[in-house]
């Protein structure tokens, strides 16, 4: 028996389709609210139905334009709080600013921590998110947070392709090896790691050193997000120069900033598989790109949070 009254889902302007797909999974209508900007650039939110004492889920990936959508999320949380919601869960399938999670240069902020503080201060009681850049970001919150993994869905997609057994999973960076290892275990494949060097704050990367064997194998590059595409393309070029055959790229979040979509389309990557954690504008949806929906995953987690059943059991064969 759920502790809170009715479950309600609302969304801002970041990714309405995902919110509607989540509601289809849950078999409930999307909650009615208006979220828009006045001519003075100030965002306004009004929830257009009663949510008193209800279990409210606000679906809003922090998609481009990032600062507008973050602000929408914060204002929606505030509106829900002031409307006496019983509990507010911020459902943030893509957590922007996540790469700013440490002080790795003098006089820089830890913006991921700042964003976590903002969400909490606005009044969220819980957070539901997907495939964080680094798991440690969970600790930036002092409220309960559930992080879902996209890897089981991505691994299943690759299995369905029936590419054969001569495969290798490739991490784009030593820091990302854990995610790739998770994929490799699910595919029963060996792991290789390419060392990535970022060139200052220029959004340019170089990949050179390869640990592991990719020769004559089909390779599956795994990353949390595709920004400019520079990381996965540099990784692909490195492993091709060491003999990798077909190169597939799997990532949770299609940020696809700037020219990424075009550059990836013209790259040696054979196929790019991403989730719908973020919207992809039609002009960025290349022929090589395919989408896996995370709406059922998020919908199931929302249902479980609402009913007080285990979310972890979704990933470990049913045991809590
Ligand atoms: C960074 O460490 C992440 O795991 C991704 O590799 C990175 O965000 C991808 O960015 P880009 O596509 O711009 O290289």
**Interval 206-223: pLDDT, tens:** 877 999 999 999 999 999
**CB of residue 227 inside a 6 A radius of ligand 1:** yes
Atom of ligand 1 nearest to the CA of 228: 13
pLDDT reading at 10 higher than 70? yes
pLDDT at 319: 65
User: How many whole angstroms from 133 Cα to the centroid of ligand 1?
Assistant: 9
Answer for the pair 224, 230: CB distance below 8 angstroms, yes or no.
Answer: no
Task: Tell me whether strands 87-92 and 205-211 are parallel, antiparallel or unpaired.
Answer: unpaired
**CB of residue 61 inside a 6 A radius of ligand 1:** no
pLDDT band of 2, cuts 50, 70, 90: low
**Ligand 1 site-directed mutation target among 175, 226, 251, most atoms within 8 Å of CB:** 226
**CB of residue 53 inside a 6 A radius of ligand 1:** no
User: How many whole angstroms from 283 Cα to the centroid of ligand 1?
Assistant: 21
Task: Tell me whether strands 191-198 and 205-211 are parallel, antiparallel or unpaired.
Answer: antiparallel
Atom of ligand 1 nearest to the CA of 175: 2
pLDDT at 58: 99
Across 309-319, average pLDDT: 85
The token pair at 181 is 């290892």
Across 77-83, average pLDDT: 98
Cis peptide before 65 (omega within 30 of 0): yes
User: How many whole angstroms from 177 Cα to the centroid of ligand 1?
Assistant: 13
pLDDT at 318: 67
**CB of residue 12 inside a 6 A radius of ligand 1:** no
| Catalytic residue positions, numbered | 196
Tell which residue, 186, 192, 193, has the closest CA to residue 151.
Answer: 186
Atom of ligand 1 nearest to the CA of 224: 4
CA 28 to chain centre: 24
Tell me the per-residue pLDDT of 119-151, one tens digit each, with 9 for 90 and over: 999 999 999 999 999 999 999 999 999 999 999
pTM of the model: 0.96
**CB of residue 213 inside a 6 A radius of ligand 1:** no
pLDDT at 162: 85
Answer for the pair 72, 60: CB distance below 8 angstroms, yes or no.
Answer: yes
**CB of residue 203 inside a 6 A radius of ligand 1:** yes
3-state secondary structure of 114: helix
pLDDT band of 320, cuts 50, 70, 90: low
**Ligand 1 site-directed mutation target among 223, 250, 264, 274, most atoms within 8 Å of CB:** 223
**CB of residue 166 inside a 6 A radius of ligand 1:** no
Tell which residue, 227, 287, 269, has the closest CA to residue 252.
Answer: 227
Across 156-167, average pLDDT: 93
Residue 206 pairs in a beta bridge with 197
What percent of the chain has a predicted confidence (pLDDT) above 90? 90
């Amino acid at each position: 028996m759920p502790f809170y009254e009715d479950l309600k889902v609302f969304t801002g302007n970041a990714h309405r389709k995902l919110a509607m797909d989540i509601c289809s999974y849950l078999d409930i209508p999307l909650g009615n609210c208006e979220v828009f900007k006045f001519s003075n650039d100030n965002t306004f939110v009004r929830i257009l139905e009663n949510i008193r004492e209800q279990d409210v889920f606000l679906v809003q990936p922090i998609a481009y334009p990032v600062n507008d959508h973050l602000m929408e999320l914060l204002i929606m949380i505030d509106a829900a709080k002031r409307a006496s919601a019983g509990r507010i869960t911020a459902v943030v399938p893509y957590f922007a600013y996540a790469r700013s999670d440490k002080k790795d240069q003098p006089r820089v902020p830890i913006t991921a921590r700042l964003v976590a503080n903002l969400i909490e201060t606005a009044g969220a009681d819980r957070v539901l998110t997907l495939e964080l850049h680094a798991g440690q970001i969970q600790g930036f919150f002092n409220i309960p947070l559930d992080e879902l993994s996209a890897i089981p869905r991505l691994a299943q997609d690759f299995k369905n392709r029936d590419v054969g057994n001569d495969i290798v999973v490739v991490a784009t960076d030593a820091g990302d090896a854990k995610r790739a290892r998770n994929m490799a275990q699910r595919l029963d494949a060996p792991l290789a790691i390419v060392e990535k060097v970022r060139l200052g704050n220029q959004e340019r990367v170089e990949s050179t050193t390869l640990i592991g064997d990719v020769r004559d194998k089909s390779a599956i590059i795994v990353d949390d997000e595709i920004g400019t595409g520079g990381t996965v393309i540099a990784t692909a070029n490195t492993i091709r120069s060491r003999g990798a055959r077909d190169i597939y790229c799997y990532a949770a979040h299609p940020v696809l900033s700037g020219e990424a979509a075009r550059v990836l389309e013209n790259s040696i990557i054979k196929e790019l598989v991403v989730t719908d954690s973020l919207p992809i504008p039609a002009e960025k949806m290349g022929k090589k790109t395919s989408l896996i929906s995370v709406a059922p995953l998020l919908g199931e987690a929302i249902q479980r949070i609402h009913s007080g059943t285990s979310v972890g059991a979704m990933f470990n064969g049913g045991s809590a």
